[in-house]
A and B are shown apart, each in its own frame.
Chain A
Amino acid sequence: METLKAEHISFGYNSKNMVLNDINFTMDNSMILGLFGDSGSGKSTFCKILTGFIDSYKGNVLLNNKSIENGFNPIQLIYQHPEKIMNPRWNMGDILKESWNPSEKILNEFGIKREWFNRYPSELSGGELQRFSILRALNPKTKFIIADEITTMLDAVTQVQIWDSLLKYAKKYNIGVLVVSHDDKLLNKITDRTILLDDLNKQ
């Protein structure tokens, strides 16, 4: 069993306003956990801290009670806007293979066609790009996925497809998923349990 733990996390973008105050949080890799909060409540900030994109915080992020080592981060973040986290001058094949080279079977499970590998990010739709962005994060070394509003901009049909592929994969390979969203109906449907960021946040 792998555990992801955040201890006494505090952070503010300026010293007057603390966004996060002494947050304690634990999850293990068997869980699909929901994190709910209003806009501006610090959900995305917390995601960036868990995945190492913000490093000037107080407190500790621990994987199996050890701090995160340099190199590939086993806690991977997936964003709301896949087009913003891909090099526009690389083709999709290079973008995916920078992380790993999934088998044909896995590509099929994610609805990715090999012919898209020669295309550039601007030549794919939002749903197609998000599939790449998810599969790129699912490197075999990944233990936890932090999914920050990853289907907010997609239509309901694509939303189901994306969650179906991601959650099946996560269950099969024991990857813990933190689903961050302000859509309570979605969280009720796909997560084992949902926590409120405001409940963790000591103001």
Chain B
Amino acid sequence: MNKLLEVDNLSIGFTQYFKGLKQRKLNVISDLTIDLYENEILAVLGSSGSGKSLLAHGILGILPPNAEVNGLMYYKNEELTDELKEKLRGNTISLIPQSVNYLNPLMKIKYQAIGYIEDESLKNEKLKKQEEIFERYNLDKTVGDMYPHQLSGGMARKVLISTALLNNPKIIIADEPTPGLDKKSVDETITDLIDLKDKGVSVILITHDIDTAIKTSDRIAILYLGYIIEVTETKNFKYNNENLLHPYTKALFNALPENGFKLTNGHQPSYLNIPKGCPYQDNCEYKTDKCLKKVPPLVKIGTSLVRCYYPIIN
């Protein structure tokens, strides 16, 4: 399988003001390394507020100007420069944003779906295509003439998906498509994502909903305090925790209500207090002095990648 996208040691930080003129630096993403292959769904799993959306915005090149970004990204082995990002976004790589809040409230849906096009004939062509795609997602013809506030939650989600599909993208980044949805809508979203993969689109699913990740993805990358700590095949999450290697990933599996709701002590610190050394040291029962001094590198073990000096291998 061909590698479509590669993200190497991406870090994103912000300098912010607090209490007047004092400054502090917030490292929201410290080391994010993932790759995406053709025809796969990769889930990036992290708790809410962990800066997962920044990954999406980083790949698309739409981060705010005060963000400090380091690391390299490649699309089909070509370095993803700012120029290339601008060329690809909305065409080859598109985003399914979190909510309708990303839509312009004063603009009809159909004009937002196609984007700004000056040429009349090109515009009409695009509108025709938009109607076709809306129809495929069972959206009524009248939806195109509606404004965002007239959409129900389920309709809005379909509008966002079909908009993302309009330019035949190769990669779709779906940013938290499920929170706040009820069970039926979540199931529909899961079907939609698998359907995208069947159409030959690769998906990066950014989520904190582990259930949705397990039901849709081929691989899961686990984000902890801004570090990718493990990338594993989704099947390793399904029956038992034997093939999960990082202590946090194991704890996460055991903590699910259906897997025993097991208690692990410790707590996930804030981004202002990321420890030196391994990010998981506060909670880890296997830690040694080595873990407190230096961040472990991401190493390959079997088909998994893991960031731990003492991975748990059964």
Please report A residues at the B interface, Cβ cutoff 8 Å.
Answer: 38-40, 111, 120, 122-128, 131, 152-161, 163-164, 182-186, 188-190
Least CB separation from B271: chain A residue: A125
Which residues in B have their C-beta under 8 angstroms from that of A160?
Answer: 255, 261-264
Q: Please, what's the 1-or-0 string for B166-200, where 1 marks a CB less than 8 Å from any CB in chain A?
A: 00000000000001111110000000000000000
Any chain A CB within 8 A of the CB of B302? no
Least CB separation from B258: chain A residue: A185
- Tell me whether A123 and B257 are in contact (CB under 8 A): no
Interface residues on B, range: 35 or more
Which residues in B have their C-beta under 8 angstroms from that of A40?
Answer: 153, 182
Least CB separation from B248: chain A residue: A157
Any chain A CB within 8 A of the CB of B4? no
Determine the distance from Cα of A182 to Cα of B184 in the docked complex, in whole angstroms.
11
Partner of A126, one of B47, B255, B262: B47
Which residues in A have their C-beta under 8 angstroms from that of B183?
Answer: 38, 182, 184
Any chain A CB within 8 A of the CB of B251? yes
Any chain A CB within 8 A of the CB of B270? yes
Determine the distance from Cα of A122 to Cα of B271 in the docked complex, in whole angstroms.
10
CB distance from B227 to the nearest CB of A (A): 14
Any chain A CB within 8 A of the CB of B267? yes
Partner of B257, one of A157, A161, A186: A186
Any chain A CB within 8 A of the CB of B265? yes
CB distance from B247 to the nearest CB of A (A): 10
- Tell me whether A154 and B261 are in contact (CB under 8 A): no
- Tell me whether B255 and A156 are in contact (CB under 8 A): yes
Determine the distance from Cα of A4 to Cα of B216 in the docked complex, in whole angstroms.
42
- Tell me whether A128 and B180 are in contact (CB under 8 A): no
- Tell me whether A153 and B257 are in contact (CB under 8 A): no
The 9 closest A-B CB pairs, nearest first, are: A38-B182, A153-B48, A155-B47, A156-B255, A185-B257, A125-B270, A189-B257, A160-B255, A157-B255
Which residues in B have their C-beta under 8 angstroms from that of A123?
Answer: 270, 272-273
Any chain A CB within 8 A of the CB of B115? no
Which residues in B have their C-beta under 8 angstroms from that of A190?
Answer: 257, 261
- Tell me whether B180 and A111 are in contact (CB under 8 A): no
Any chain A CB within 8 A of the CB of B72? no
Per the 8 Å Cβ criterion, residues 241-288 of B in contact with A are 248, 251-252, 255-258, 261-273, 283
CB distance from A148 to the nearest CB of B (A): 13
Give the total number of A-B pairs whose CB atoms are below 8 A apart. Answer: 86
A-B residue pairs in contact (CB < 8 Å), sample of 28: A38-B183, A39-B181, A40-B182, A111-B265, A125-B269, A125-B270, A125-B271, A126-B48, A126-B49, A128-B267, A128-B268, A128-B269, A153-B49, A154-B47, A155-B46, A155-B252, A156-B252, A156-B255, A156-B256, A157-B248, A157-B252, A158-B268, A160-B261, A160-B262, A161-B264, A164-B263, A182-B182, A185-B256
- Tell me whether A122 and B268 are in contact (CB under 8 A): no
Least CB separation from A41: chain B residue: B182
Least CB separation from A37: chain B residue: B182
Least CB separation from A162: chain B residue: B267
Determine the distance from Cα of A126 to Cα of B47 in the docked complex, in whole angstroms.
9
Determine the distance from Cα of A165 to Cα of B258 in the docked complex, in whole angstroms.
20
Determine the distance from Cα of A122 to Cα of B248 in the docked complex, in whole angstroms.
25
Least CB separation from B256: chain A residue: A156
Which residues in A have their C-beta under 8 angstroms from that of B251?
Answer: 157
Determine the distance from Cα of A39 to Cα of B183 in the docked complex, in whole angstroms.
9
Additional A-B contacts beyond A155-B252, A160-B264, A186-B257 (5; CB < 8 A): A39-B181, A127-B267, A128-B269, A184-B183, A189-B257
- Tell me whether A39 and B180 are in contact (CB under 8 A): yes
Least CB separation from B222: chain A residue: A155
Which residues in B have their C-beta under 8 angstroms from that of A156?
Answer: 210, 252, 255-256
CB distance from B178 to the nearest CB of A (A): 11
Any chain A CB within 8 A of the CB of B18? yes
- Tell me whether B257 and A183 are in contact (CB under 8 A): yes
Which residues in B have their C-beta under 8 angstroms from that of A128?
Answer: 267-270
- Tell me whether B268 and A39 are in contact (CB under 8 A): no
Least CB separation from B46: chain A residue: A155
Which residues in B have their C-beta under 8 angstroms from that of A111?
Answer: 265-267
Which residues in B have their C-beta under 8 angstroms from that of A189?
Answer: 257, 261
CB distance from A179 to the nearest CB of B (A): 12
Any chain A CB within 8 A of the CB of B158? no
Partner of B265, one of A126, A161, A185: A161
Which residues in B have their C-beta under 8 angstroms from that of A159?
Answer: 255
Determine the distance from Cα of A125 to Cα of B282 in the docked complex, in whole angstroms.
14
Which residues in A have their C-beta under 8 angstroms from that of B180?
Answer: 39
Which residues in A have their C-beta under 8 angstroms from that of B283?
Answer: 157
Determine the distance from Cα of A154 to Cα of B268 in the docked complex, in whole angstroms.
10
